[in-house]
Structure formats: C-alpha cells, structure tokens
Amino acid sequence: MKLTGAQIIIECLLEQGVDTVFGYPGGAVLNLYDAIYEYRSKIRHIITAHEQGAAHAADGYARATGKTGVCIATSGPGATNLVTGIATAHMDSIPMVAITGNVAVPSLGLDSFQEVDITGITMPVTKYNFIIKDVSELADTLRRAFEIATTGRPGPVLVDIPKDVTAAACEYTRKEIVKPDNYYSLSADEEYRQVADLIAASKKPFLYTGGGVISSGAAEEMAKFAELVDAPVSSSLMGQGGFNNRDSRYIGMLGMHGTVVSSKAVSDCDLFIGIGTRFSDRVIGDIVSFAPKAKIVHIDIDPAEINKNIHVDHQLVGDVRCVLDRLNELVPPQDHTEWLRQIDAWKEEFPLHVAEDYGDQVTPQYVLETLDELTHGDAVITTEVGQHQMWAAQYYDFKEPRQFITSGGLGTMGYGLGASMGAQVGRPDKQVINIAGDGSFHMNCNELVTAYKHNIPIVELLFNNSVLGMVRQWQRLFYGKRFSQTTLERDTDYMKLAEAYHIPSYRITKKSEVREVLQKALRHDTPVLVECVIDRDINVLPMVPAGAAIDKPILDIEIDD
C-alpha cells in the first residue's frame, strides 16, 4: 500500500511493538504529528514539558521494561535538547531510538531556519545515526535503527528525517520483525575451561556484577553462578538488582561509595570475576592497588571493553546470560565456608555507615530504610544525581533487575523525574518513586506538569538540604571548605509549587513524621510530592577519593563549622 513517510514511521513503530512515544511537536515534524493524530488509537504519545524530559522518559521506559524507548523532537533546538538524554542512554548502554525532524532536503546545508546537523552533533554519543533523504529508504532504515539499538551491547540510535521525506509517499509493505538473538559467545571452549579451572583452584573468589547482567536478562543465571562458586557478590551502581541485595552473599556496592566489606574483600580475594561491567574509574580507583592478589576475569559482550580500563588475565566475550549458562555447566559446586565466614565477620565489624544521632531530625538513611520497609523492597526507584542517588543505592535493598533506574555513567542531574514517568508508563503495575535532591529537582521540576497532565502516579521524594550536597562534600574534603556556589538557599516553597501543578504534597521536618507521611504518599493514585528537610552536612560515606586505593575509604568527616 502507498503511504506517506509520516505514516510509514508510525507503521514501523507498530511493527517493532512500540506502544508509547515521548516527544514534543514542531514545524519539521508536523507531518509526523499529523500521523500520530491519525494513529492515536494504536500508539500513545506523551508530550513532555521539554525535549530533554522526553529523552529521559524514553530512557526510563527502556530501563524499566527492557524494550526500546522512543522519543521525538523537531529540528534545531528541539533536536539539540535531546542530546543530553541521548548521551545519558549511551553511557549506560540503553536501547533507545530518537527520531528528529529536519528542514527539507533542498534546504540542508543552507543555515535554514531551525536547521542543525544533528547527526554530526550526536555522532560521539550514539551507537549509530542516520539521515534519510529518500522516502523509499525510510522503512528499512527505521528497522535497521531498532536492530542496532538492541543488538549486542545496547545503545541509542538517532534517525534524522527531513520534512519533505515525511510528506512524500511510496509503497510500504509491513514486515514481521524477528527480534535479534543476543544469546551468543565469541570465546573458545578452551577459554571457558581455563576460567572453570581458575574457579576450582580459587580459595577466595569475588563476583562483581554490572549493568550487563540486567540488560542480558541474566539474573537467574547469576544467582545460580554465585551459589555454585560459593562467593561474595558485589554490584556496580548500574548493576543494582542484578543480584538480590537481600541474599546473604551480597556485600554491597563496590567503589567510591561502596561498602567497607566490598573494599576489604576485593583487596584480599585471589580471583575477581567482573560480569557485564566496564570497570568504571569510580569503581577501580587506583589501578595499581586494585585486587592486588587476584587473577582477574572479565565477562562482557563488548570486546572493546576488555583491557580498556584495567588489565585482565582472562576474558569471556559474549552475552552474559549465555556465558554464565556455559560456566554453570562447567563449574562443580565449590565450598568457601572459611572465606564467607571472614566476609560475615567484616559485615559485623563494618556495617554500612549510619549517620550520627540527629534526634528527631530527618536523615535520608532513615527515610530510605523506611521506604524500603513500606514498599517491601518491590518499588521501582529512579534517582537524580548526587548524594541522594548514592543513599538510594546504599539503603534500598533491590530484589530484582530493573528496579533501580539512575544515570550512572554521565551523571545527569535532571534525569530522574523524566525517567520515573517513563518507568511508570512502562510498568503501571509497579510503585515508582523518584529520589531527588533540591539541586537536581530545580533542573527538571517543569516535568511535574507532564506527570499531572497524563496522570502518571509517581512519588517525587525530594531531599531538601539547600545545597549541592555532593559537590559541597568534595569542597569540604579537598577544597579547604570553600563552598563556592554550592550553598543554594533558594527558599523555594515546594508545597506551593506542587499546588501550582495541581499535585498533592507533604513536608517532613521530623523523623517522627516519616512513616506516616510516606504511607499517605504511597496510597495516592496520582503524582505526589514529598519534601524531606535534611541537614546540609549529612555526607555520603564511605567515600574513596578519586584515584585513591579502594581499600582506604574515608569513614568519617569532621564537621566543625
């Protein structure tokens, strides 16, 4: 049948099983939005307050569901407003397709109104991108975009479509899409046998999980592997939920704000197996002193990550689920009772740092522990970036994958509210809570109008300390307590702001109020805002300074001002 380019775009989205797109209309995508109106009974469009919010919502949708998120923007500033969201998805390997409009093909390169070379701009932060100048190439290019976004290591793909291409017509034939099979390994049998032999010879193995465990759907295989190896398990920020935090083998995060137990274990282990991780600088710290007694094995789907940040002794390249399946067949059950006894002793000696007694003042640790209890650890938690992000990772015990949604690699303030809406739309069966600091909240609070307009029942849990807490913490430790531009004191009335957006709100100023207010907020079936007023000098601990040895964390910060 003959369709316009705009209609072909929608038909291709339906081919891919897309049920929701996030975006903002404009001149270069008017034809596409006319098709969205035509197909409104088949595909849901959520208009955000800002294009960046659309990108973050598509990203959050993808992380919560495992599907490919889709966002749409017009040319020029509409397209450039997507860039931070695209870069966020790129750094964390999130499958997303961003569709942008552009000026008509004859006007390209003439500095036309709202023209920008968005494929050139996004080349470093996309897995691939396209500009389509012929409507006959449109359907196959869109199909290719979705295939690239989800094949191998996932990532964002941008498709730029000039306005006249969306207006032109050509023949379209619907295709049944076969989803790419990522279940493969590139490593030889001998490499698997070598790793299995290392495991059998190890007395003190250490398992470290990253986001690849989640994106490959390997949580079940990971749990079996940990049981077979009989080893402690630590996770990266992106790996939270890939292994049940409530399992006795779990020892907390590893890295800059990881637990003392994990830093001691990695320093004493004789075998370190990194699973679906890229060995971020925030994790390994000083490379020379990282896992000094251990043979290091790296399992990852992307060969480019092997030996990039740290030298490894053995590698297994492939989909994490496939690799773990093969290892689970090769590795006989191990017994490391003595090693795990030592781990338990460290857990007893070095519990996760708890803030000093603040009396009836609110502490984020208590709020998050109470939230975990009230939600039974089943909620989807999204975050902005800063101290609150680390507290959420430390004090909420994630049971399963896709519960923790955060900007790990890029560290994007303003990410969480958009992501929470995408997550809630993708998982309406889940309670979704966005953990924010007041600094991040001011970057994206306009998206409250999106939550209200579309009745997306997220809980916005705002920690208000009137400072940029994480930056202030660094200034205290490394910049002589010169708190340059980090004391905000904006005096925003968050209750009135929520009221302006027709959103119910609560304010917590005492520890004794926490449980009752959270219970009320969690009962809402509309978006709700909860402000928690906390002390500006509560810090995130432990903390390993950037580039320092991971076994020398800071456990206390003196406050004398």
Coil, strand or helix: which one is 88?
helix
**How many Cβ atoms sit within 10 Å of the Cβ of residue 450?**
24
Placement of tokens 């027709």 in the chain: 502
Q: Which entry of 11, 16, 22, 51 is annotated as an active-site residue?
A: 51
**Structure-block tokens of residue 427:** 């998982």
- Angle, vertex CA 159, rays to CA 158 and CA 160, nearest 5: 115
Q: What share of the chain is helix, strand, coil (3-state, %, to 5)?
A: 40, 15, 40
Q: Residue 74: what residue type?
A: T
- Residue-wise burial string across 139-175, b where 16 or more C-beta atoms lie within 10 A, e elsewhere: bebbeebbbbbbbbbbbbbbbbbbbbbbbbebebeee
- Angle, vertex CA 539, rays to CA 536 and CA 542, nearest 5: 180
Decide if 58 contacts 96 (C-beta within 8 A).
Answer: yes
Identify whether 51 is a catalytic site residue.
yes
Q: Which entry of 222, 253, 413, 470 is annotated as an active-site residue?
A: 470
Name the H helices within 81-123.
83-91, 118-122
Nearest to 235 by CA among 221, 225, 224, 249: 249
Q: Which entry of 15, 114, 191, 308 is annotated as an active-site residue?
A: 114
Identify whether 253 is a catalytic site residue.
no
Ramachandran category for residue 191: left, alpha or beta (phi over 0 → left; psi -120 to 50 → alpha): alpha
**Structure-block tokens of residue 280:** 């971020």
| DSSP at 194 | H
Q: Which entry of 16, 22, 146, 163 is annotated as an active-site residue?
A: 163
Identify whether 1 is a catalytic site residue.
no
**In Å, what is the CA distance from 125 to each residue of 84, 86, 92, 417, 487?**
9, 7, 11, 22, 32
Q: List the 459-464 sheet strands across, edge first.
A: 404-405, 380-383, 432-437, 459-464, 528-533, 505-508
Q: Residue 493: what residue type?
A: D
Identify whether 163 is a catalytic site residue.
yes
Q: What are the start-end ranges of the E strands in 61-155? A: 69-73, 96-102, 128-131
**Structure-block tokens of residue 288:** 């020379």
Identify whether 114 is a catalytic site residue.
yes
| DSSP at 554 | B
What is the rounded distance in angstroms from the CA atom of residue 399 to the CA atom of residue 240?
Answer: 9
Q: Which entry of 38, 113, 123, 329 is annotated as an active-site residue?
A: 113
Which positions are catalytic? Answer: 51, 113-114, 163, 470
